[in-house]
Structures are given as C-alpha cells and as structure tokens.
Structure 1
C-alpha cells in the first residue's frame, strides 16, 4: 500500500533514502527519461505528494540522486596516505575516477555532464576537496609545476572530459589508450619528474611553501594573505 501521510522525521529520512535509491536504479537502467514521478512512486511504494514534499519537483529529486552518486563515488576514494608517492596516488585516483564513470554512465553524466555555475552540492565539494588533497601533497613534496588551484582545475576538467568523451563513443569503439594518454599528459603538465627536489628552483620552492603556508602561525592572517599572493605570483607560469 502506498504511503500518503507525511512521515515522522526519522521515518521521513528512511522514505527519502528509499526514493533516492529507487530513482538512482531507474536512472541507471533507463537514463534520466526513466525517472518519472509515476515510475518512482510505483517502485518506492509512495504517492506523488510525498515526492513533492520531500524534493519539490523532479529536478529536486535528480539533485538528490546526484548527491547520492557523489557519495557513492567518495566511498571508493581515499585521501593520499602519509609517506606514499603523491604522484602515484594521483595516478591511482585518476584511474578510479575513470573506472567509476565508465561503470556508471547515466549517473556520471548526471553528476558531471550538466554543470550549473555557482551551484555545488556538499558531496561534489567533498569530491573536489579530495582532489585538492592529492594536489596539496604533491605541492608539499615540491613537485608541483602549477599553482594548486590551477592544477586542481586542470585535473578535474581533464578527468571528467575524458570520461564524457569515452561515454560518447560505443563501448566496442572506445580507445583503451585514451585515458592513460590523457592521464600522463596531465601528470606531466602538473608535476615535475623527480621524486625529490634538493634544489627545486624559485617556482618549486614558492609552490611548496604556499602549500604549507597555513601552518605558519608566526604570521598573522593578514600577513599570510599577503605572502600567499606573492607566492602565487611567483609560482604562476610565465606567458
């Protein structure tokens, strides 16, 4: 029997989670077009007003499914471990990202294929923070060629672009070498080729210091802000 009353808070969360899981399954099986109010209510055992109360409309439901997708993705990701090779950790993270996208095409397209400027969900922000942690560990090791945020944006754009490009091609026609080629091109653009830099030069030194600047407690917040601006200018690649 379908539920038609507004549930209590704890029950409400269970109902919400069930609806999101059902909508995600419908998305995976049939794409966004399969996520209709009729299909979701039938599969979840609820009535349409429940969906409207919990999500507002279909767009709100799809936003919740997107959040669910990022949470599923993050459950498989791990921040870089202390002492590990930060570039190898980045390489492994890239491969995991590509694997997730190709295994979940409809969900991945919903997550990355329809960006809305200025709108970032908490789970999407957490995924980006995970990438920032990888880049920060490379910067701390003195092996980052670019400014941290520039490296993060390049890696995010290249990784998601690679997945979407592969998804646009029939599976049997996909080039298995495309992702490794894109990955290594990005790594070459973002990192130095050495495990350690005894004399990293002014750019490498500025990048490494910028990565650790938040721990410079001898400086005031304003002083750290000024120094951060100077270090970013030093680390920026010349035109």
Structure 2
C-alpha cells in the first residue's frame, strides 16, 4: 500500500459521513439496490461500522440491510474437513460464496425481486438458521461485512476496508485464533484490500479511527 493521507475522525462522525456518501450512490449496473462492502478481519469489527452506518441511514430515511458473511459459513463437516486450524481451508473454504451469490447478490441484480436471505447457517449450532427472507425496497442498501470480501468479484458499488496493522491485528485477535493470521497476510499480498477499497479506515487504536474520506 502506498502513502495514503488519513484524517482523524470519531466513529460517530465516520458513520454519518459514510451515510451521507451512500445517499448518492448509484449502482453502475443499473440495479436499484446499492451494494456496499465493509471488509476487514474479525478483530477489526467491520460489522460494528456497518451497523453504525445503517443507523445513520435510517435517520436519513434510507432503508438498509446489514448482512454478515459469518452467517454464510459452510457446515462444520466441510469447514473442518482438514482440521480445525487449516489456514488454506479458512481462506478458501469456510465461507459459502455460492450461497452469498445466490441468496444475497442474485436478488439484488437488475430485475431482481429484492428478497434477500440475511443468514443461512448458524456456526454455533451447526444448523440452518431458517431465517425468513427480507425484502429490501428499491433504493435500499445492502451493507455486507466480513473478511476477504474483495477477492470474490462481488458486484459492490462501494467498498470500505477496515485496516489493522499486522501488530494490531495480532494484538486484537484472540490467541486461540492466531492460527488465522497467515490467511490475512495472504489476503493483503494477493488482493491489496487497503489499495483496492474506495474507502480506507485505519482502526489500530479502536478509540481513534482515521480514514481517507
């Protein structure tokens, strides 16, 4: 990643600024539903930012749907086929990318019906969630959060990457999950999310974020 000028900001202000930007977001493919990525490792908590932006949009009269990639994990029998700490499986096999295309992005394509499945699989019970479909009205925004989102060619109209330095990522990742860290290093080298995303948020200090807005 090259030098990027970042501005200090509060989380509340960041949510407001992003919501204001999203009000004017127009999908390039003509879809009536803008689709936004909040990409980042679990330790970066991109879902918190997605929820904050959703609340700010609600105040502004715009509907949105927050969807977490962790709701589309594959069954444990497939995720853990090569062991509980297999980095290759974590990087390439834990998330049901086909289901995300089918249940989330497909309904939001031009001509779609807007009926999105907010989650599919509960990793705690290792059973289908059986959640009802949610109909996102035209003009409503999809806010998808999770890791590795920018490597799958999803049709995002705007992408936000919540960045942690390697030292911050290690510090804020629970020790029992340190085995996942090489996957994020690989993602950085192969995809360069900090350079690919339109919006970059640095969150090394969780109390004092900075962004390139």
TM-score for the superposition, normalised by structure 1: 0.24
Where is the strand percentage greater, Structure 1 or Structure 2?
A: 2
Higher Rg of the two aligned structures:
1
Where is the helix percentage greater, Structure 1 or Structure 2?
A: 1
